[in-house]
Structure 1
Amino acid sequence: MTTQTTHTARTAGTAGDARTTRRPARTLRTGLAAAATIGLLGVGAASASAHVHVTPDSTAAGSSSLLTFDFAHGCESAPTTEIAISLPEQIDDATPTAHPGWDVEKVEETLETPKKLENGTTITKRVSEIVYTAKEPLADGVRDALQIQVQLPTAEGESLAFPVLQTCTEGATDWAQVAEAGQDSHDLKSPAPSFAVTAAEAAGHGQGTAEGGSADTEQASNTSAAGSGGNNDGGAGTAGWVGLVAGLLGLLAGVAALVRTRGVKK
């Protein structure tokens, strides 16, 4: 009986040791798989965040739009020294925003054929590029944003691409790829920042909104004033009831204390 018990205990101990041995190996394999997955996700996220993005404050046809170009990575980890933003042919001029730490330059090109604008004037030159040069190289992994203001074309539905040449202390990246029809821009290795022009705002819409806003503001102010008066009266009434209840509770507490005191004396 003793032998059988000892054998059973030994067998259980051996099985336990085997399970203990296998568990770290399984845990290690699971950990490696998870690490690999996280690594792949990290590479994908880093690749996406490395792009140069453009954010317009307006996409309406014919509107004046402030475009913000932001980036957070250099060229293969090298610090950025220059950002050159090319304007699409639908845009003739741009006003760059001054940015501390960067010198800015407008580059013009001569048109092969003079171009007549909607206001009737004819131009022979256009601004083709805005170049920002860093006074000190911008380190990889540090985010920055540069802005230019442009007049959007009047044609609704046009896609505007702004190729960006990012020059670094070592190498350069040309963000100039444009997605073809049916192609996802996320599949491109170095896509150009772009957006689509939307429908123009209705004439007088802004003025109507402003007037409507004034009326709404006045009405809201009147309502607020009336509501404020009501709230003040209600607040006073509430404060009165609270004071009355507090007084009653205090009186009851005093009576209870008196009763306890007389009980102790007896």
Structure 2
Amino acid sequence: MSIRTFARLGALPAATAAIALSLVQPASAHVTATPTTVEAGAYTVVTFSVGHGCEASPTTSIEIQVPEPVLSVTPTRNPFWDVEPTVEQLDEPVADAHGNEVTERVASIVYTARTPLPDGMRDTFELSFQLPDAAGETLTFPTIQTCEEGENAWTEVPAEDQDPHELDSPAPAFEVVAASGGDHHGDESADESSEEGADQAADASGEETEAAATTATEDSSMLGWMGLGAGVLGLLAGGAALARTRTTS
């Protein structure tokens, strides 16, 4: 087989790889949201990733808008950014997962760069919260990326049956799925059961220790009396022997 034939055969995979990269790169450039779990009612940590600036301009702030079904959000500190939550009042009070009345919610989290993020570098931002009991619902987090020059509004939401990859600036999103088993309070119940079990084990261990100590004390007392008796008998025997010695002499 000639060198020219090898070249032709190698050109097809190379072209295929180039096309694949051209398809992947735009998607990886979007702001993405990666949750640790998507099960309804579970607690999750969602990582938002920013991979580039605005037309090569460094990023100065990231505003992550929180969807309405999520009431409370805890942002993770980032040493390169100042973080500030924006709180809004609810039209009507609602009950949270623990039955507490809630009158306000976290509407957005704003990260402001202490030093602008260069275009050729990426950074991540983490938000911790409890997912709503809404299997099948998509949570969307419109995100505004502000740069020294211009901004990127990652806010587009796909229409029904539309592929999100067709959007130029899709908002980070993911779908909530049904819980795999039990309810979202299972971990708390397990913790309480573990604590009760630990307390019971500690009580039992304490009782056994106290019983062992009592037995040891009784045994020690018995041994003491036995030793005292043996000593008295030794003194009597010694006295008798001394008396016999004096009589003989």
User: Is residue 163 of structure 1 aligned with residue 163 of structure 2?
Assistant: no
- In 2, the alpha carbon distance for the partners of 1:41 and 1:117 equals 45
Change (3 A) 1:37 1:78: farther
User: Is residue 51 of structure 1 aligned with residue 30 of structure 2?
Assistant: yes
- In 1, the alpha carbon distance for the partners of 2:113 and 2:22 equals 27
Identity %: 45
Change (3 A) 1:60 1:169: same
Amino acid at match of 1:92: L
Structure 2 length-normalised TM: 0.65
- In 1, the alpha carbon distance for the partners of 2:14 and 2:53 equals 26
Q: What is the CA-CA distance between 1:40 and the residue it aligns to?
A: 6.6
Aligned 1:121-136 pairs, distance under 5 A: 121-136=100-115
- In 1, the alpha carbon distance for the partners of 2:34 and 2:131 equals 14
State the superposition RMSD in angstroms: 2.8
Change (3 A) 1:121 1:40: same
User: Is residue 91 of structure 1 aligned with residue 70 of structure 2?
Assistant: yes
Amino acid at match of 2:156: Q
Partner residue in 2 for 1:110: 89
Partner residue in 2 for 1:82: 61
Structure 1 length-normalised TM: 0.61
Aligned 1:4-83 pairs, distance under 5 A: 43-83=22-62
Amino acid at match of 1:120: G
Q: What is the CA-CA distance between 1:48 and the residue it aligns to?
A: 1.6
Q: What is the CA-CA distance between 1:123 and the residue it aligns to?
A: 2.1
Q: What is the CA-CA distance between 1:173 and the residue it aligns to?
A: 0.8
Amino acid at match of 1:172: E
For residues 196-224 of structure 1, what are the alpha-carbon distances to aligned partners after superposition, in whole Å with 9 as ceiling and x for unaligned? 111123248765xxx9xxxxxxxxxxxxx
For residues 22-72 of structure 1, what are the alpha-carbon distances to aligned partners after superposition, in whole Å with 9 as ceiling and x for unaligned? x9xxx9xxx9xx999987765544322210001100111111100100111
Q: Secondary structure at the residue paired with 2:27?
A: helix
* Residue among 154, 179, 188 paired with 2:158: 179
Gaps of 5+ in 1: 1-22, 212-266
Q: Secondary structure at the residue paired with 1:85?
A: strand
- In 2, the alpha carbon distance for the partners of 1:39 and 1:149 equals 38
For residues 145-191 of structure 1, what are the alpha-carbon distances to aligned partners after superposition, in whole Å with 9 as ceiling and x for unaligned? 11010110011111100111000011001111111221100001100
Task: Name whichever structure is richer in helix by fraction.
Answer: 1
Gaps of 5+ in 2: 195-249
Q: What is the CA-CA distance between 1:116 and the residue it aligns to?
A: 2.9
Partner residue in 1 for 2:220: none
